[in-house]
């Protein structure tokens, strides 16, 4: 579809690439931007013309990038060196990986008012050498209400100006922005595609590649992390927490909470997202009895043990707690109070007859 759009030279002025983390929506948007600027396009960007060489190094003067940063007045151009390096290493990265690269620690990412003003200024200029002026914005969810500043520009862009937005959560994007974009959905990747890519890009043997592909659940970013670092801290941390909540020892829970509070908000959110994944797999096991879960053997064993004492309703309540905590963290709740309270409530849910 994208090839046909480029060949027809009737590209919509705003495209929203929407798909789950690790599905490749950012990689696809960047590749499409390169195709649009390519001087000799065929079944994709040629890769050898001057425009392709610059675009492949993320340095084409008419392909601009916007992404979440840390700080009230931060703009993307302040972090272009880190951005080019991160994209070259892994265009399937997740938001937390990127923000921790910027030293976010306890701060949350955003796309600021100053960044929106910088976008308006950049796109008001004429193209330097390409056929189009292109803005690739990663995670417009981080715009929040600042996105209103871009509405007029997206609706009535200057001639030969194109917006390519790569997003993961449609519900967090302003409806006024959604209504101005043509949607391009990217699905989770197949196990076969992920396994093949791991063999090619990381030299993983075929059996291990297929195991990682199954565990990653269609998320190539997770697959790369598993290939590079088989031990997942979130997995061990969650299992430890669940065991402590089951025992309900107050001293243990306080100690765990104080240690966890030091991780920083973005890491805490990432942990909760992993926890939701774990609970979804547990729901599937309780509902179907099928032990073929997208979890490691130790986690599958924990699921099977917990399923003996937790029914579907209790797991649903735990998932609701995790989901609520993501909301509270985004609004700067005190993590020590929040997670100690959650630990106590988890113990109550687990032990309720």
Summarised one tens digit per residue, pLDDT across range 271-280 is 998 899 999 9
Q: What is the pLDDT of residue 231?
A: 57
* Banded model confidence at residue 230, pLDDT cuts 50, 70, 90: low
Angle at 342 between CA 337 and CA 346, to 5 degrees: 155
Return d(Cα 235, Cα 247) in angstroms, integer: 19
Candidate from 4-13, 63-72, 102-111, 225-234 with smallest mean pLDDT: 225-234
Is the pLDDT at 219 greater than 80? The verdict is yes
Residue 165 φ then ψ, to 5° = -105, 130
Alpha helices in 2-112 (DSSP H): 2-8, 25-37, 50-56, 80-89, 95-101
Q: Which residues have a Cβ under 8 Å from the Cβ of 81 and sit 6 or more positions away? A: none
* Banded model confidence at residue 93, pLDDT cuts 50, 70, 90: very high
Residues in the chain: 353
Candidate from 50-54, 122-126, 327-331 with smallest mean pLDDT: 327-331
Q: What is the pLDDT of residue 341?
A: 97
pTM of the predicted model as reported, rounded to 2 decimal places: 0.81
Cβ atoms of 13 and 157 closer than 8 Å: yes
DSSP-derived letter for residue 263 is: G
For the chain, give the percent of residues with pLDDT over 90: 79
Q: What is the pLDDT of residue 21?
A: 94
Angle at 299 between CA 293 and CA 305, to 5 degrees: 95
DSSP-derived letter for residue 158 is: P
Is the pLDDT at 108 greater than 90? The verdict is no
- Of residues 153 and 105, which shows the higher confidence score? 153
User: How far does Cα 48 stand from its chain's mean position?
Assistant: 31
Cβ atoms of 45 and 60 closer than 8 Å: no
Residue 293 φ then ψ, to 5° = -105, 155
């Amino acid at each position: 579809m994208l090839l046909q759009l480029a060949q027809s030279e009737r590209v919509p002025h705003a495209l929203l690439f929407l798909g789950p983390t690790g599905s490749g929506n950012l990689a696809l948007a960047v590749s499409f931007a390169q195709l649009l600027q390519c001087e000799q396009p065929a079944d994709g960007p040629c890769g050898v013309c001057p425009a392709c060489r610059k675009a492949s190094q993320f340095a084409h003067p008419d392909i601009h990038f916007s992404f979440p940063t840390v700080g009230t007045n931060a703009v993307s151009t302040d972090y272009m060196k880190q951005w080019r390096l991160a994209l070259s290493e892994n265009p399937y990265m997740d938001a937390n990986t990127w923000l921790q690269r910027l030293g976010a620690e306890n701060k949350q990412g955003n796309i600021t008012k100053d960044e929106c003003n910088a976008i308006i200024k950049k796109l008001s200029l004429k193209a330097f050498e390409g056929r189009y002026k292109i803005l690739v914005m990663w995670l417009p969810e981080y715009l929040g209400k600042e996105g209103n500043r871009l509405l007029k520009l997206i609706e009535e862009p200057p001639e030969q100006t194109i917006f390519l937005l790569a997003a993961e959560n449609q519900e967090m994007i302003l409806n006024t922005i959604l209504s101005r974009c043509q949607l391009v959905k990217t699905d989770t990747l197949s196990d076969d595609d992920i396994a093949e890519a791991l063999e090619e890009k990381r030299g993983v043997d075929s059996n291990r590649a297929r195991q990682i592909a199954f565990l990653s659940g269609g998320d190539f970013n997770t697959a790369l992390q598993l290939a590079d670092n088989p031990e997942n801290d979130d997995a061990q941390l969650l299992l430890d927490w669940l065991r402590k909540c089951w025992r309900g020892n107050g001293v243990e829970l306080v100690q765990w909470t104080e240690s966890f509070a030091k991780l920083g908000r973005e890491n805490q959110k990432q942990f909760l997202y992993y926890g939701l994944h774990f609970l979804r797999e547990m729901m599937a096991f309780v509902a179907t009895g099928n032990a073929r879960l997208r979890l490691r053997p130790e986690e599958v064993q924990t699921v099977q043990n917990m399923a003996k004492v937790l029914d579907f309703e209790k797991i649903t309540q735990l998932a609701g707690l995790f989901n609520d905590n993501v909301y509270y963290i985004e609004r700067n709740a005190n993590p020590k109070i929040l997670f100690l309270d959650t630990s106590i409530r988890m113990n109550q849910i687990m032990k309720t007859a």
